[in-house]
Amino acid sequence: MRLRGIVLSAIFATTVWWAVQGGAPAHLGGPGSGPLTTPQPAAISQGRVTTYTVQPGDTLWSIARNIQSEGDVRPLVDRLTATRGGRPLQIGEELNVPLDV
């Protein structure tokens, strides 16, 4: 019986503390646990753009290397990431890839 009382007291104290702090921590579904808005793709530059159709096994890195066969592809991967808005790649999806920095 004593252990049950201690556990219930701890749960009550934790609940009160969460209420005073503004809710449950983010990792438990409290405030800040989800996005405030749905991620939107970044605006594509008005410069040159190429279209790429996503194939099975493609990653942003492999797509970037396919489009830019030489040099550092990290800036292109960054632009692809920004235009995706956090969405996963879908096979058959057509990507408008900005070529200008």
pLDDT at residue number 63: 93
19-39 mean pLDDT: 55
The burial of 54, by beta-carbon neighbours within 10 Å (0-12 exposed, 13-18 middle, 19 or more buried), is given as: middle
Give the mean pLDDT of the chain. Answer: 76
Residue 90: both structure tokens together: 């879908």
Contact indicator for 63, 95 with CB cutoff of 8 Å: yes
Contacts of 76 (CB under 8 A, 6+ apart): 64, 67, 68, 97
Q: Output the domain CATH number for residue 69.
A: 3.10.350.10
Task: Tell me, yes or no, whether 40 lies in a domain.
Answer: no
Task: Tell me, yes or no, whether 81 lies in a domain.
Answer: yes
Q: Which amino acid appears at position 30 of this protein?
A: G
Task: Tell me, yes or no, whether 5 lies in a domain.
Answer: yes
Contact indicator for 85, 50 with CB cutoff of 8 Å: no
pLDDT in tens, 42-80: 554 567 888 899 999 999 999 999 998 899 999 989 888
Task: Tell me, yes or no, whether 41 lies in a domain.
Answer: no
Do residues 53 and 94 both lie within one domain?
A: yes
Do residues 62 and 87 both lie within one domain?
A: yes
Task: Tell me, yes or no, whether 24 lies in a domain.
Answer: yes
Look at the chain and report how many structural domains it folds into: 2
Range of the domain at 20: 1-34
